[in-house]
Chains A and B, each alone.
Chain A
Amino acid sequence: MSLVNYLVLSGILFSIGSIAVLTRRNAIVAFMGVELMLNAANLTLVTFGRLHGDLHGQVIAFFVMVVAAAEVVIGLAIIVSIFRTRGSASIDDANLLKS
């Protein structure tokens, strides 16, 4: 199977992720969209690593996984603290800050 297919797949995943961030109102789901985008980038990196025949792509993907894990910790902490305050994790409810 051609490696280009993987790139197309990662492009599709990246788009789904960014659409999820932009349209979903639940902070957790929006955050899952971000994770999907990061993983799409990982797939791209690994595929390009295979295309170029060097290991950098895979090593970078490992770094990204660690960063994504750290981001999950911070993100869930923030979302949980907001949820406990308001009883909802909806982004639309977080509208106190306005011009």
Chain B
Amino acid sequence: MNQFVPPEIDWAALSPVLIVLGIAVIGVLVEAFVPARVRRATQVVLAVVGVGGALVAVAWRWVVVQADGPTALVAGALREDAPALLAQAILLVCAFVGLLVIADRSSGEDAFAPSGAAIPGSAYEAEARRAGLVQTEVFPLTMFAIGGMLVFPAAADLLTLFIALEVLSLPLYLLAGLARRRRLLSQEASLKYFLLGAFSSAFFLMGLALLYGYSGSVRFDAVATAVPATSGMDGMLLAGVLLVIVGLLFKVGAVPFHSWVPDVYQGAPTPVTGFMAACTKIAAFAALLRFFYVVAPGLQWDLTVVLWIVAIITMVVGTVLAVVQTDMKRMLAYSSVAHAGFVLLGVIALVPSGISSVLFYLLAYGLATVGAFGLLTLVRERDADGNVTGEALHLSQWAGLGRRHPVLAVSFTLFLISFAGIPLTGGFIGKFAVFGAAIEGGAWPLVVVAVLASAAAAFFYVRVIVLMFFTEPTGTDADPGTTVVRTEGLTAVAVVVCAIGTVVLGVVPGPILDLAANATKFML
């Protein structure tokens, strides 16, 4: 009765994922076989080529899909349609710039502990540092995370989504714990991220099990067709859908599942924070979009209430708590929570333009995030001997930075006003598009809250700008206390790309919006 039918696999359509995961596996082999001298250079080149190649592959598949229409891959486990490909492209662009920041060595050393297993402050760690050991495993780990993220927007069944969730999360748990400086904080962030992440994926899995019990399948489309056809098991359906959404909202960092966000963003190495803040959010929102737009229309009435409440408290809590932060990374973390709330508006809207506007918003947000965190890696403290140490993250340390380092301060300002959603930046167009979609979907009370929250949020962004340009620096000119280190060049490239992207998205958003307008329908 159960005859085995081998699935037909369209390898060409899978090429973006295969390239990234293939490079990740090669990266692991490089760790084993390539001599230590050239290992880092090999890994950097491999990773950059891998992400770039995957981007080209996605562009090629986009052309194919535009011509031939969307298809189901791997016996229906994945969907190759316009929203999936666009999300993958956005993801790869942000991952590419994020990777450049991760690979950069400012003041001669990268952001990662020379030996992750060494006890912080031990003789062994000091020795590893003196010997100039480099943690090159971060590159394969990042590539595995990107691989999982690429599957996320395309996954059309809950099992694939679950596996992708783990493939993207597990490397990030490790990366969060590998900071070169402030290692106790970093390890603690790693532990918190891991325990809460594992907890939320257990909820996701229980939701998967309940939906399987309800519909007899884990395919989104099968669940969606079972919704009107099955009666008397509404409790199980709702519980299943809610648990799955909880798992995804955790990754997004929406209140009340946000408690990990500030701690992990603060503790993780700053380049990793930028990478995961941008890319995890893009991947998780793309998956949430597909799940919601395919499964939810049948149970809109039950789900809308929950998601409205989540969206409102996410925007309010994120904004209010960001105002009272004194640490740069924590402030940006809470601001990213608030942004999750804004993006949720486009998800809740349940109109075709919701999909494209959410993707546009994520692109604008992702670029600004990678850029801002990339700049954070350059602003450092000096100890009494004049040695450059960890990042200067307290707000007061940024006072007067604009006078000494105008270029850095101006680009940071650009990213902040994009976060705030001020015109002529990508953030403004993104907010405009998402709010427009929400109004179209009849969620205008949410839009009112969102506009008020954005206005309040502008306060703490502007506060940093005022601090940088209009406040007297704390130190003397001879010993400013805060210093800006030279980069190897990669962070500079990443920041320039992000800045240009942010401005282009704000001034001439037309082409990208037109592109996104093709991605308004999920294949069932």
Contacts and interface: CB of A to CB of B under 8 A. Distances in A.
B179 to A, nearest CB: 12
A86 B166 CA distance: 28
A40 B202 CA distance: 9
Contact of A82 (B191, B206, B210, B213): B191
Given A64-B205, A82-B191, A51 B213 contact: yes
B202 A34 contact: yes
Contact of B212 (A18, A34, A37, A48): A48
Interface in B178-223: 183-185, 187-192, 194-195, 198-199, 202-203, 205-206, 208-210, 212-213, 216-218
Interface string B309-342: 0000000000001001100001000000000000
B346 interface: no
Dominant secondary structure at the A interface:
helix
B206 A94 contact: no
B206 A41 contact: yes
B169 to A, nearest CB: 9
Contacts, number: 125
A81 B119 CA distance: 7
Tell me the interface secondary structure of chain B in the complex.
helix
B360 interface: no
Nearest to A81: B187
A48 to B, nearest CB: 4
A77 to B, nearest CB: 7
Contact of A81 (B2, B116, B208): B116
A71 B212 contact: no
A67 B162 contact: yes
A70 B321 contact: no
Contacts of B194: 74-75, 78
Interface of A: 7, 14, 17-18, 21, 27, 30-31, 34, 37-38, 40-42, 44-45, 47-49, 51-52, 54-57, 60, 63-64, 67, 70-71, 74-75, 77-79, 81-82, 84-86, 91, 94-97, 99
Interface of B: 2, 116-117, 119-120, 159, 162-163, 166, 170, 173-174, 177, 183-185, 187-192, 194-195, 198-199, 202-203, 205-206, 208-210, 212-213, 216-218, 262-263, 266-267, 321, 324-325, 330
Given A34-B199, A91-B191, 18 more contacts: A17-B202, A18-B202, A27-B191, A37-B202, A37-B203, A41-B209, A44-B206, A44-B209, A45-B212, A48-B212, A71-B170, A71-B198, A78-B174, A78-B194, A81-B117, A97-B189, A97-B266, A99-B321
